[in-house]
Structure 1
Amino acid sequence: MDLFSIIIVLVVAGVLLWLINTYVPMQGTIKSLLNGVVIIVLVIWLLQVFGVLSGIGSPRIHT
């Protein structure tokens, strides 16, 4: 995945999160939880894209 695609994904995720936070009425705790989950998922995805967490998502069975 090239750098341009990564930036596009991050911008789209940010805009969607901003739209949800701005226009969907919900409690502050739920909004904070949603923001935290999205940020954690994006950080894990970025770590996988850059190869830091290459083992997650591909379990290996040693025989």
Structure 2
Amino acid sequence: MPLLHVVLILIVVGVLLGLVNRLIPMEGSIKSILNAVVVIAVVVWLLRIFGLLDELRRFHLR
């Protein structure tokens, strides 16, 4: 996936999350959970895109 597409997707996700946080009324705790879930999902997606998730799976502590 080209880097430009990754950047555009990150911008779209950020704008959508900002709109949801601003326009949809919900409790602060729910907003925090939603933000955390989105951030974790984006981080995992980025790790998979750049192939680092496979490297983490092969790493074992003994």
TM bin (shorter chain) = 0.7 to 0.9
Gaps of 5+ in 2: 56-62
> Mind listing any 5+ residue stretches in structure 1 that lack a counterpart?
56-63
Name the TM-score, length of structure 2 as normaliser.
0.85
Structure 1 length normalisation: TM-score? 0.84
Q: Segments of 4+ in structure 1 off by > 2 A?
A: none
The DSSP-based 3-state class of the residue aligned with 1:53 is helix
Q: CA RMSD in A?
A: 1.1
Higher helix share: 2
Percent identity among equivalent residues?
51
Number of residue equivalences: 55
